[in-house]
């Protein structure tokens, strides 16, 4: 439980500071030093990717901020995307993955269709909840089959507003894969 709490805390800190910012790194380091959890490693790669790894008798948990997704990431990905955060938990029941990716704002509909179709093709029972408001669209797609639960949540959000008042939007997609067992 401490491992999960630490992982969530670190993720929220780094995400709220906008990635691998020096202040976020320092705050995460300080939190790590004050815990009694052993097997923790915080590292920054040459590309600026921040990786937090925790190993104990329950397994290994890893969270990355920026950078690439693991080679065995189970979801199909669009041709063009940017990784916000990704987490991987290796446990006895299998490997769980969670990632947040950013794609173009106008990709919402095609991404929703892509993931619904892919889950159905992979043998999942699929359920979709979609919400629309003046602010934009949001969808939550869940899939379940005998061995795994998967979910995809999506929303369109404003990411920039230039001096001329031109707004830029992005579609944020959170992908989660959890083995059952």
What pLDDT digit, counting tens, does each position of 2-44 carry?
A: 445 445 445 544 444 444 456 555 655 665 565 655 677 777 7
* Alpha helix (H) residue ranges in 62-125: 108-121
CA distances from 113 to 95, 128, 138 (A): 26, 11, 13
**Can you give the pTM of this predicted structure?**
0.73
Q: Which domains does the chain have, with CATH numbers?
A: 1-56 (no CATH), 68-181 (3.40.1000)
Q: Which of 45, 58, 60, 61 lies closest to 11 in space, CA to CA? A: 61
- Over residues 145-173, the pLDDT tens digits come to 999 999 999 998 888 888 888 888 889 99
The greatest distance separating any two alpha carbons of the chain, rounded to the nearest whole angstrom, comes to: 55
CB within 8 A of 59, min separation 6: which ones?
89, 90, 91, 92
């Amino acid at each position: 439980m401490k491992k999960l709490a630490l992982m969530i805390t670190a993720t929220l800190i780094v995400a709220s500071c906008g990635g691998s910012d020096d202040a976020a790194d320092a705050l995460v380091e300080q939190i790590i030093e004050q815990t009694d959890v052993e097997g923790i490693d915080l590292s920054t790669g040459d590309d600026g990717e921040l990786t937090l790894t925790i190993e104990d008798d329950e397994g290994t948990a890893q969270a990355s901020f920026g950078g690439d997704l693991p080679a065995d990431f189970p979801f199909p990905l669009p041709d063009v995307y940017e990784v916000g955060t990704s987490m991987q938990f290796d446990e006895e029941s299998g490997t769980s993955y969670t990632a947040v990716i950013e794609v173009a704002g106008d990709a919402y509909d095609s991404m929703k269709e892509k993931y619904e179709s892919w889950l159905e093709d992979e043998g999942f029972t699929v359920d979709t909840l979609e919400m629309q408001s003046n602010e934009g669209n949001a969808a939550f797609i869940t899939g379940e089959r005998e061995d795994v639960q998967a979910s995809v949540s999506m929303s369109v959000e404003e990411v920039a507003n230039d001096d001329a008042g031109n707004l830029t939007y992005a579609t944020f997609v959170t992908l989660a894969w959890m083995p059952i067992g």
